[in-house]
Structure 1
Amino acid sequence: MTKERDRKTNAIRVLDAARIDYRSWFFETPIALSGVESARRLGIDQDRVFKTLVTQGRSGGYYVFMIPAGRELSLKKAAATTGEKSIAMIKARELLPLTGYVHGGCSPIGMKKLFPTFIDETALLHERIVFSGGRIGCQVEVSLEDLRGIVPIKAADLTIT
C-alpha cells in the first residue's frame, strides 16, 4: 500500500479525482530525461510525447506551453499566442516554488496555481497524448479532451519549424 501511495503524484491524484481514464508509466532514472528519451524508453512515438514548459511574459504573467518532445518552443509564436510583447523561459530554480514541480517532472495538471495553458496544434492529430505525470520518471497518457476537462487548454502553432 505504501508503494502505491508513494507513486501518486499531484497530477495522478487530480486524474483519479476527476475519474479520468489514463495510463501511467513509472521508471527509475537518476536524472531528468528528455521527452525524446522518455518516449524511446517507453516505446512510444515521440510525436505523442509532450514536454511542459513554464514561461513568463513581459507583463509578469506566467504561461504554460506543451510542445512535442522533439520540438523547440518558438518564443515569438508563444508571445503572439498570449498577447505578450515577449515571453521568456523561467529559471529552473523558480519552477518548484511556482508550480510545485521540479525540472524534468513538471506536469500541466496539479500545479500550485492554474496558469493559462497552450498546447501545440499537433496534439490534435493524436487520440491520446503523453506528458509528465508530475515527477521525474513518471509519464501519463490521456486524451486531449480529458486533459481539457481538467486544465483549460488552447491549441496553437507554437514550435519552430
Structure 2
Amino acid sequence: MKHKKTNAMRMLDRAKIDYEVKTFEVEDGHMDGERVAELVGENVHDVFKTLVLENAEHDHFVFVVPVSESLDMKAAASVVNEKKLQLMPLDNLKQVTGYIRGGCSPVGMKHLFPTTIDQSASLREKIIVSGGQRGIQIVLQLQDLVSMTNAQVEDITQK
C-alpha cells in the first residue's frame, strides 16, 4: 500500500534507518493503543505510545511506554532530574511537537526534546511507534529509535 511520507518517515529515510510501515483504518473517536495493536496485527507488548510531559517552566520531555502500561510519573520526573512533571495540555501538542493526539511520533518532532524509552523495549525484537499520523505505525529496532531521538532507556512504567 502506497502512503504519503510523514515527517518521521522522511527523517528515518535521511538517516538511512530501516523501518516498516503498518497502516490501519482510523475509527471514529479516540482509539487506545491496544486497539491499534489489534488493527495492525501486532503483539500489544511491541506497540508503544508517546507521551509529552512538561515541568512548571514548560520545558518538555518525551516518554515512550508500552500501550498496555501506564507511565510512573515519579519515575519519569526522577530520570530527567525534575521534581514534578505533568502531561502537556493536548491543546498545545500540535504547536509544540508538530503532531496531534493519536499521531504523535517520538521521531520528527519540531524540536529534539529529552526522550526516555521504557526499559521493557529492550526485551522486544522490535518496537512499534506512531508514524506521525493517525493510522500509521512504524516498526523499527530499539537502537535505531534511541539513535534518532538521543533517548535514554529507563524503568518508567508503573508496577
Letter in 2 for 1:112: K
After TM superposition, give the deviation of residue 133 of structure 1 in Å: 0.2
User: Within 5 A, what are the aligned runs for 1:79-90?
Assistant: 79-90=77-88
What residue is the counterpart of 2:156 in the other structure? 158
- Kept in 1: contact 2:104–2:133 (CA 8 A): yes
User: Within 5 A, what are the aligned runs for 1:3-42?
Assistant: 4=2, 7-30=4-27, 31-42=29-40
Which consecutive segments of 4 or more residues in structure 1 shift more than 4 A? none
What residue is the counterpart of 1:144 in the other structure? 142
User: Within 5 A, what are the aligned runs for 1:1-161?
Assistant: 4=2, 7-30=4-27, 31-161=29-159
Return 5+ residue gaps in structure 2 as ranges.
none
Letter in 1 for 2:89: K
Report percent identity of matched pairs: 40
SS of residue matched to 2:86: strand
After TM superposition, give the deviation of residue 32 of structure 1 in Å: 4.2
Inter-partner Cα distance in structure 1 for 2:155 and 2:146? 17
Give the paired residue count. Answer: 158
Return 5+ residue gaps in structure 1 as ranges.
none
Q: Root-mean-square deviation (CA), in Å? A: 1.4
TM-score (norm: length of structure 1): 0.93
